[in-house]
Every structure is written in structure tokens, then in C-alpha cells.
Structure 1
Amino acid sequence: MNNKEIKVAIVEDDENLRFLVSHRLQAEGYITFEASNGNDAEELIMAETPDIVLLDWMLPGKEGSDVCKDVRAKGFEGMVIMMTAKAQDVDKIDAYNFGVSDYVTKPFNMDVLVALIENKVKFAINNEKTESHKFGNMEHHPNTHSLLKAGKKIELTILENRILLYFLKNANKVIHRDELMMVVWGYNSDVNTRTLDMHIVRLRKKIEDNPDTPNYLQTVRGIGYKFVF
């Protein structure tokens, strides 16, 4: 699937930003659709079934979280990237498991946004049915944020999903905390190591038989972590 076949819905109430994003994505070869409020967005998404939805968190009419939740309930399976204005919104996205695939924090660099979308097209949409990672009695499906443990499905938050995927792609390698925070939260992040460690603890509870003595997600004192399998 090339860019010219990829449909992107841009849901943003800021007219200037919506125009800039749409114009840039069209220049990159994507087909774009636009909506400026939550109600119109829901109709657009269900009518056009875009491959990717860029969805603003704060919208007139209906919040982005409700739009996402409602279109998922109606069977929409495309990728939803939430555009958030505040770092705190990331915690809200984790708290409300309403079907967001990923997020980007405003203000964002347009090149970074394009790179994110290109990455999603390359690794997620084109390989949607095939990407999975096995370890122990578990199988990680990053595109659906799910983990099968002994046949039982476990939901992962966006950040847990990013962390686990990065570890699985860098198995048996020592990962510095700074590197992990850069990958998971991005360049403009002001998170601290305590926040990272909290997410590691939560992830361990989902993957380890005994989280206090982890077999997989091991701490490397003074440096970071290592995923062993």
C-alpha cells in the first residue's frame, strides 16, 4: 500500500492548523478529509473509513476521546492518532482505554508528524495482520495493544505498548533510562525517571509471574533496564 492509497481524516477545530496539516499530507501523497467538530468527525469517519484519523483531544460538540470510543463501538478499525495540547492528556489517554492507537503532543513539528504517519504506514498498516512478538508463553500484538498470556488477552496502555515493543525489538540489550524516555515520550517530554519506573512496574505486573523478581524485564542498577528472553 503506497501513500496515494492511504486516507487520512484530520479532525481539528483550529482552521489554520487543520489547513496546514491537510496541505502537507496532500503534498506527501495522502488523501485527506477534514472535520472541525466531534459530531461531524464521527459521521466522516464512519462514511469514509480512513486508514488513519488525526483526532484532536479538545473538540466542539464531542471530545476526541468520545469520538474514538463511539467509532470503535461501531466497528471502525482504522488507526487513531490523538493530538493532545497538554502533557497531562497523555495520562488521560492511559486512564481511558477508548481505542487510541497512538498520540502526538502539540505543538508538533510537521516533519515529525509526517515521519510518525509514514512509520505507521510502513510498520502498522502494511503489516497489520502479521506483526507479533513471542516470548515465553506470551505473544505481543502491538497494533491492537494486546498481549496474549497463556491464551488470555491482556490490554496494554499506549505507553506500556510502546515500552514493551521497544524492549522486544532490543532484547538482551541494556537500555538506558534516557533512551527509553526519548522513545516513549518524545523530544519535548518533561517526564522524570520516576514516571518511567511507574510504567515499568505496571508492565511487570502484566507480564511477570512474580513482578518482584522479574524474569523478563530486569533492572540494570544505575543504568536502566534489560529485557531478557
Structure 2
Amino acid sequence: MNKEIKIALVEDDENLRFLVAERLESEGYKVLEASNGDDAEDIILKELPEIVLLDWMLPGKQGSEVCTNIREKGFDNLVIMMTAKGQDVDKIEAYNFGVSDYIIKPFNMDVLVAMIDNKIKFALNSEKTESYRFANMEHQPNTHLLIKDSRKIELTILENRILLYFLKNKNKVINREELMMEVWGYNADVNTRTLDMHIVRLRKKIESNPDSPQYLQTVRGIGYKFVYNQ
């Protein structure tokens, strides 16, 4: 792996920061550390790391504020938010402030490393223009956009993941558990009602008549199916 890949690790818990930094360095990454929002912003804007691992709860400034500030100043690399299990992730995505992804604490180090390796590979190999077309729409997962009749519609992190999974599995019945696993990850503490709520929101963005969906169809007792034939 390229030794020059930099990761900014912003975490006020010293023990956790030490453990994560040590593990990432052993994987060959260069780790820049910060324990508060102000230092984090300085380091990120000066060093332009490929990935920022950003704690949601920070002394002084919240992670969301740090993220908003660096995005406004033009930083467009990956920002992964670290959020504690009890914190409401729905609330996080509602702010739509430019987080690329998130991981829930306590996390397994192997999972974190796999996630980062994957993101780096994806970022190095993929053009920013990955896109999926269906009907009069185009989904651009890298920029969280749905373009419908040349109008841009922003998708939240979760809507983006859900739609991408459906588009990769068109015309296939997907059960709720599989979808929840894909979208929220292995340790997801999510109930099916939360998933259904995101589906309802996504339908409003995709379907011309969300109450009688043409694409994102419900399969009773099982889950969903994204129906689209060219």
C-alpha cells in the first residue's frame, strides 16, 4: 500500500486514539492526530489527508461543525464519522453536512481497517463519474445525487446506499435483513421500521406516485424489489 496515504484521526479519547493510530500505522498509513475541532481543521486543511476519521462528539466544536467548515473551504476527500452507539445517526444524516460515511463505536479494528482499505481502493480506482441510469433518472453514488429529468436531488447517506444496492440488484427480491446488513453494517441496532421509513423517503424522490411505486416495490412478508427492465 502506498505509504503516503494520510489519515487524519480526530478523537478526544486518548486511549482510543492511540489504539486506532497504532493499528493504522501498522497497516502502512500515515496518521495525523488531533484531539479537538480547531486543531483538526488546521491539520486537515494544511495536510489534505485522503481520509478523515472524525469523532462526532468533540470538546469545543462538534464533529458536524468541523465537517461543515472543511467542506466550505473546499476539502472534498472522504470524511468518516465515528459515532457512539446511542447517538442518533438519523439525526446526523439529517444535517447533510458532507459526511461520506460513518462507523459506530465501539467498532472492531479489523472492520475499520477493511472499511478504510476499501474506501482507498475505491477512491484510487474509480472515476468520480460512476453512475447508474434507469428510466429518466441517473444515480451518482459518489456525489450522493439523483438526477431526475435533469434536476438534481440530494440523497442522504443511507438513501444513497439503499438505492445503490437496489440498482446493483435490479429485479431481485431483497429481504429486509440483507438490506439492513448492507446499509447499516454487521452490528446494526436497527429495526425494520427505520428501514421502511428510509424506503418511503426514497420513493418520494424516485417515484412519480410514491403510494403506488413503479420501481421500488414491496414484496409482502419478505422485503423489496427494484423493478426495472430496459
Q: TM-score normalised by the shorter chain: which range applies? A: over 0.9
* 179-188 or 199-208, larger mean C-alpha shift: 179-188
Shift of 1:133: 1.3
Cα offset for 1:120?
1.0
Letter in 2 for 1:40: D
Tell me: CA distance 1:5–1:138, structure 2 relative to 1, closer, same or farther (3 Å): farther
Q: Quick one: distance in 2 between partners of 1:170 and 1:6?
A: 33
Deviation at 1:86? Answer: 2.9
- Ranges in structure 2 where 5+ consecutive residues have no aligned partner: none
Aligned residue number for residue 96 of structure 1: 95
Match of 2:215 in 1: 216
Unaligned runs of 5+ in 1: none
**Per-residue CA distance 1:155-203 (angstroms, 9 max, x = gap):** 1111111111111111111100011111111222221111110000000
Cα contact 1:101–1:158 (8 A) shared by 2:
yes
Partner SS, residue 198 of structure 1: helix
Aligned to 1:50: 49
- 2:85–2:106: 8 Å Cα contact kept in structure 1? no
In structure 2, what is the equivalent of residue 15 of structure 1?
Answer: 14
User: What is the Cα deviation at residue 90 of structure 1?
Assistant: 0.7
Please list the CA deviations of residues 47-102 of structure 1 after superposition, one character each: whole Å capped at 9, or x if unmatched: 01111100000011211000000110111101000000134331111211100000
Number of residues of Structure 1 aligned to a counterpart in Structure 2? 228
CA distance in 2, matches of 1:195, 1:203: 13
Task: State TM-score, norm by structure 1.
Answer: 0.95
Instruction: Tell me, yes or no, if the aligned pair for 2:175 and 2:224 is still in contact at 8 Å.
Output: yes
What secondary structure, in the 3-state scheme, does the structure 2 residue paired with 1:4 have? coil
TM-score (norm. length: structure 2): 0.95
Shift of the 203–165 alpha-carbon distance from structure 1 to 2, 3 Å rule, reads same
Query: Which residue pairs with 1:32 in the alignment?
Result: 31
Q: How does 1:49-88 map to 2 (within 5 A)?
A: 49-88=48-87
- What fraction of aligned residue pairs are identical, expressed as a percent? 77
RMSD over equivalenced CA pairs, Å: 1.3
Aligned to 2:147: 148
Distance 2:118 2:135 in 1: 28
* Separation of aligned partners in 2, 1:4 and 1:168: 35
Structure 2 CA distance for aligned equivalents of residues 24 and 188 of structure 1:
21
In structure 2, the partner of 1:190 is 189
Q: Which letter does structure 2 place at the counterpart of 1:86?
A: K
Q: State the partner residue of 2:107.
A: 108
Q: Which amino acid aligns with 2:166?
A: F
Asked if residue 123 in structure 1 is aligned to residue 122 in structure 2, the reply is yes
